[in-house]
Amino acid sequence: MMGKIALVTGGSKGIGFAIARGLAQQGANIVIVARDPKQLEAARHQIQSQSGKKVWAFAFDLADIKAISGHFGNIVAQTQGVDILVNCAGTTLRKRAEDITLEEWNRVIEMNLTSVLVMCQAFCQYRNQVGGGGKIINIGSLMCHAARPTTAAYASAKGGLIMLTKTLAVEWARYNINVNAIGPGYIATELTAALQADKDFNRWVLSKTPLGRWGHPEDLVGAAILLASKAGDFITGQIIYVDGGWLALL
């Protein structure tokens, strides 16, 4: 990965930050994208100081679907290229299906699925211009495989993400673009802090996870390195679940 440039959305914290830092430690220069400029700058400084690699930070909201292509073009112009795309940015909504408003539904679908499509399209168009293929990694969820109550919008988006990953892998193989996904189990981040604090929910998670703990964002780095590197050149259209054994348990 030495000398490659990896763009990681949602790269200022949590899973996105861990993957960005992990790729940098393997020799990639990094572009991180998120909404909060202060968090982005703190993440940029930390990754750069720990890895010695070049790190760029771009603040914009991926919920603004129509602006994504322009932002991607700006990133390419300022960095001179993107070789690896990691789509990690997302949002969730915990609400029973009968109570979800159309506005809420659209927000979750657009952020977790539509924005990924548009980012992938921009990446594909750029890589076709410069040649040489590329790597796309989409961050899925256990909800790519199954659902639980209050996850209708999120599970629908993540289920769609897996079929998008497979379809792009099939269509873009001719461009030598590998498209894969990582499905995290329950990972301890800011977004799941309330769930971790819920004693009953925490007990349920631990009972369902053979390794007996919540995952850490750093647990996903190995899979990301595999899929982003030459070691993953013959892997495409796959989802690797990093879940502590969750899906293996009957």
Q: How far apart are CA 96 and CA 87, in angstroms?
A: 27
Residue 113: both structure tokens together: 């699925």
Is the distance from CB of 110 to CB of 62 less than 8 angstroms?
no
Instruction: Check: CB of residue 87 under 8 Å from CB of residue 112.
Output: no
Residue 135 dihedral angles phi and psi, to the nearest 5°: -130, 130
Is 241 a residue of the active site? no
| Per-residue buried b or exposed e for 124-143, using 16+ beta carbons within 10 Å of the residue's own CB | bebbeeeeeebbbbbbbbbb
Reference 93, options 145, 155, 144, 139; nearest CA is: 155
**Angle CA(19)–CA(21)–CA(25) in degrees, nearest 5?**
115
Q: Which residue among 154, 175, 186, 241 is the active-site one?
A: 154
94 DSSP assignment: -
Extract the tokens encoding 225. Answer: 């390195």
The two structure tokens encoding residue 190 = 């800011």
| Half-sphere CA count of 28, side-chain side, radius 13 A | 29
Q: Which residues are catalytic?
A: 154
